[in-house]
Structure 1
Amino acid sequence: MPQMRVLLADDHPIVLMGVREIIERDPRFKVVGEAMSSSELIDKIAQLRPDVIITDYNMPGDDQYGDGTRLVEYLRRHFPEPRVLILTVISNPQVLSWLYELGISGVISKSAGLEQILVALDAFYREGHFQQAPPDGASSDDVDGLAQRLSQLTVKEFEVLRLFATGVSLGEVAQSLSRSIKTVSTLKISAMRKLNVDNDQALLILCVKANLFA
């Protein structure tokens, strides 16, 4: 069986280097390219035709394809053949379930260790698929209840919150998600209510604590 071709995408060079090093331990897999933005990823998929795409969930700063669920929706619609693994620290069960509904093959938690990438690739190589069930609840070791509060957010609320937390305006969030400013504002207010914060400063502190930027 020929080598499995893998394309990597992350906006942090050190993550790309670490993932490449892990993958290249096994001669069955070959990293055929790397991308540091959504636009670069889309271009390289068209050029390199990988078997597997391993991409970060958060790659801000790309107006054309965005990131998060917007990018994943584009990937599955226009490039249905490659298997997609998502790298993230996000644990919101609704977001993760939505990603599986879109057709991704698995989620690799950055906090759990990147060695799981080889587990997934090995499953792809030997069995053709990676069996991984989406989570159905918040982390049981969440001491202060933050993960539980985040798990209450809908996918749309979470995406608005994640983008707003990067420092962009509500207008830019609305443009990125192809929603009206009124809709985005309503989703932000609803998310803040669920998270029990009443101002933008408290919201940003919570986002940093939840590591929504990774």
Structure 2
Amino acid sequence: MKGHENPADTPDRVRVIIADDHPIVRLAVAASFANLRGYQIAALAQSGLDLLNALHKAPCDLIVTDLAMCWDAPETDGMALIRWLRFKYPAIPVVVFTMTTSISIIRELIHARVAGIVTKDESLSELMKVCQYACSGSKIAVSDMVARRLSASAPPTEIKRKFALSRKEREIVQLIARGMSLTEIARRSGRTTSTVGTQKMAAMRKLHLTSNAELIQYAMLHGLVSS
């Protein structure tokens, strides 16, 4: 786990709100906290709106949330929720527990000043370590996998991600996120499959994404598949 050299002791009874749309994930994370001295579960939330309601009702010292969480409206992306949490509750550390390994999304989370980032490919014990660091220090705590992704990537560049895409590239991202194949997109748009594939790869390079899964998650997080 990367982020701090010597974590301080966490305060007694850190009150945690866990937000994830998968019940098994919520319960597994809650069970891990139950085995961690000095922590208690303040609330479990299954959506972004549930999370905001829980924060309104229950005292909280730590938020652990998935990234792809619907809240105010279906078209409101998960990154906007993170930014809102940081604006509305700046004193509460936010640890993001996410499926994404996209370096561009990781950097956006860092820019949003989250307290920690862990991927769901890693163990719950790694999540607990990051949460402990997040509660005890001022620097962002990232898991080992996230640290490796950051160190292996090129230095960040300024990218206007949504607007860096051409109209056709943006359309392809939207249609892929809705489950359409390149052949179906080509037939619908009157382009060749080869052309569509080239435009898809151009979009992925601009967004610093490496797989269809990351492309679909990016589209969901940024409201490109609201309909």
Match of residue 136 from structure 1: 150
Identify which of 193, 201, 205 aligns with 2:202. Answer: 193
Write the letter of the residue equivalent to 1:99: L
Identify which of 19, 25, 50 aligns with 1:40. Answer: 50
Q: CA 1:80/1:162 → structure 2, altered by over 3 Å: closer, same or farther?
A: farther
Gaps of 5+ in 2: 1-10, 180-197, 206-210, 222-227
| 1:174-193 alignment, distance < 5 Å | 193=202
SS in 2 for 1:46: helix
TM-score scaled by structure 2? Answer: 0.61
Q: Percent identity?
A: 20
RMSD value, Cα:
3.8
Identify which of 102, 109, 120 aligns with 1:99. Answer: 109
| 1:1-214 alignment, distance < 5 Å | 1-60=11-70, 63=73, 66-127=76-137, 131-132=141-142, 135-136=149-150, 155-156=161-162, 167=178, 193-195=202-204, 207-208=212-213, 212=217
Counterpart-to-counterpart distance in 2, 1:108 and 1:26 = 18
* Native 8 Å contact 1:5 1:31 kept in 2: yes
Tell which has more relative contact order, 1 or 2 (C-alpha 8 A, sep 6+).
Answer: 2
Aligned pair count?
A: 174
* Native 8 Å contact 1:39 1:65 kept in 2: no
Q: How big is the shift at 1:208?
A: 4.3
Gaps of 5+ in 1: 140-147, 169-188, 197-205
* Native 8 Å contact 2:60 2:92 kept in 1: yes
Write the letter of the residue equivalent to 1:84: V
Counterpart-to-counterpart distance in 1, 2:139 and 2:151 = 24
* Native 8 Å contact 1:38 1:65 kept in 2: no
Counterpart-to-counterpart distance in 1, 2:160 and 2:176 = 16
Q: How big is the shift at 1:124?
A: 4.1
